[in-house]
Amino acid sequence: METPSAKTDAPPGRSLGHIALHYQTPDEGPLAARLLTLLGFVETQDLTLPDGTHFYRFVVDARHRARGDGILYLSVVPEAQRKLVGAVREALRVGQADEHPAVADMRGHLANDPEYSFHIGVLVESLEELEARFLALEEVNRSDPALKGRLRITYNRALKSDADVEARLDASPIYSRVDRFAYGRNGVQAFLETDVLASGVLGESTFLEFDYVFPDRQSHVLSIVEWA
């Protein structure tokens, strides 16, 4: 059997089409949509379903508006899933005095490392945009009546990188004060955990990761994983 030629017989290129996200309760659809907008996603559809809940279509940026990729769908947690998660939480006695120790253990790992379990990563092309959006989220978490206290933000600075990268991060309004490090060089990460969105083994929150990679670096946090 012949090996297909990489030049003539390679399959067409692919891209990541979409991710389906869920908001926790029927009344929080507009709040979840506002949060995605604050994160820079572009809303392209808000469909009211027969049960009164909202089904949204977002794209990662305006270039994807009419395409079939770069999409985030947003809808309420399905009823069967809500019942299943409720049964799991009841069996593990979540929030009770006799809560199963595995719950605290998992939460501890997630608190220490937002990448420990399921999360969604987005690559941004501008460090200035990332900084501006997350500084705004910090303020929202302090003062917005609907979102105050519901956003847990974590930053990872690049491992020791070249002098230009280090100088830029030392001047950053965010990363100059960060003493956590990514698993690689020449790039930074910003994480948002929020209970406005539901996912994970206990259905409690969703982790969103935003990455920036410095240009013209062949080796960076998203190309090669390193340990400090």
CATH code, domain carrying 22: 3.30.720
Shared domain for 66 and 147, answered yes or no, is no
Give the H or E element holding residue 90: helix 79-91
pLDDT tens by residue, 102-131: 999 999 999 999 999 999 999 999 999 999
pLDDT for residue 4: 45
Residue 43 is part of which domain span?
A: 14-76
Q: Is residue 152 part of a domain?
A: yes
Task: Determine the straight-line distance between the first and last CA of the chain, rounded to whole angstroms.
Answer: 45
Q: Is residue 89 part of a domain?
A: no
pLDDT tens by residue, 7-54: 556 677 899 999 999 999 999 999 999 999 999 999 999 999 999 999
The encoded tokens of residue 75 equal 């809808």
DSSP state at residue 186: S
Q: Is residue 86 part of a domain?
A: no
Shared domain for 51 and 161, answered yes or no, is no
Q: Is residue 104 part of a domain?
A: no
For tokens 């609907």, the residue is 146
DSSP state at residue 182: E
The total number of structural domains in the chain stands at 2
Q: Is residue 195 part of a domain?
A: yes
